[in-house]
Amino acid sequence: RTIGDRIGEAKASGNLGNTLKILGQFDEAVVCCQRHLDISQEQGDKVGEARALYNIGNVYHAKGKHLSWNMAQDPGYLPQEVKETLQKASEYYERNLSLVKELGDRAAQGRAYGNLGNTQYLLGNFSEAIAFHKERLAIAKEFGDKAAERRAYSNLGNAHIFLGRFDISAEYYKKTLQLSRQLKDQAVEAQACYSLGNTYTLLQDYERAIEYHLKHLVIAQELGDR
């Protein structure tokens, strides 16, 4: 501010906002991220503007998750305050998405789609969540980003469960399992086995359910995860 560096001030405000978000001070975080947005717009800095929109979305997303953790409910059954907070997150992600499309930034589009999928899932809009996660998946494949691809499969599996399409969920969870093995991530592999066990229970294929729950158990024991 002293040297009149507006772009620098905008970036510093954004960093403050992100730090406050991590500290759980969501309302203060929004004020700082909004300042980042205002200055970026005033300076015609489209990249900064996109980043600020994304960050504000993240703050509302984190606040919504934080509020809903205290209430432990299924996605979609949310108190008004949580719903409004997640809807705000969604709106900012949408604004970010249209701007990064304009800028032709595919990686940023991928992140926006993933977060839109997650907020729609929490809001109980499972079909919308699926559409966004499919977009996320396509971009992850484009970039050869196996970790993002793995997360997309997992999220697609979760959303299909709530639509009662258990067979489709099982296929997505199998892909999650495959990729977690490729990535040598045992904790995620265990989680995928757990999800598959539950999905096969829902499909009333108890033999396979047992098989996957046993795999989950073995990894949990290996990891010493009580």
The CATH number for 221's domain is 1.25.40.10
77: exposed, middle or buried (Cβ count in 10 Å: 0-12, 13-18, 19+): exposed
Q: Please say which residue of 126, 143, 160 terminates a domain.
A: 143
Residue 184 and residue 137 share a domain = no
Residue 152 and residue 112 share a domain = no
| Residue 70 confidence (pLDDT) above 90 | no
**Tens-digit pLDDT profile for residues 142-159:** 999 999 999 999 999 999
Q: Please say which residue of 143, 161, 184 terminates a domain.
A: 143
| Residue 47 confidence (pLDDT) above 70 | yes
Confidence of residue 114 (pLDDT cuts 50, 70, 90): very high
| Residue 73 confidence (pLDDT) above 70 | no
CA distances from 74 to 5, 84, 90, 121 (A): 47, 17, 19, 10
109-121 average pLDDT score: 98
Q: How many domains does the chain have?
A: 2
**Tens-digit pLDDT profile for residues 179-219:** 999 999 999 999 999 999 999 999 999 999 999 999 999 99
118-134 average pLDDT score: 97
Residue 129 and residue 22 share a domain = yes
pLDDT at 188: 96
Cα–Cα distance between 208 and 196 in angstroms, integer?
9
pLDDT at 68: 84
Residue 168 and residue 158 share a domain = yes
Residue 72 and residue 14 share a domain = yes
42-47 average pLDDT score: 96
Cα–Cα distance between 101 and 97 in angstroms, integer?
6
82-106 average pLDDT score: 97
Residue 125 and residue 52 share a domain = yes
pLDDT at 58: 97
Residue 158 and residue 111 share a domain = no
Cα–Cα distance between 74 and 90 in angstroms, integer?
19
- CA 15 from centroid of its chain's CA atoms: 20
Residue 122 and residue 29 share a domain = yes
Long-range own/partner contacts, residues 15-20 (CB < 8 A, 24 or more apart): 17/55, 17/56, 17/59, 18/55, 18/58
Residue 197 and residue 211 share a domain = yes
Cα–Cα distance between 21 and 56 in angstroms, integer?
10
| Residue 72 confidence (pLDDT) above 70 | no
Domain range for 79 is 1-143
Q: Please say which residue of 125, 143, 161 terminates a domain.
A: 143
CA distances from 31 to 15, 28, 147 (A): 12, 5, 32
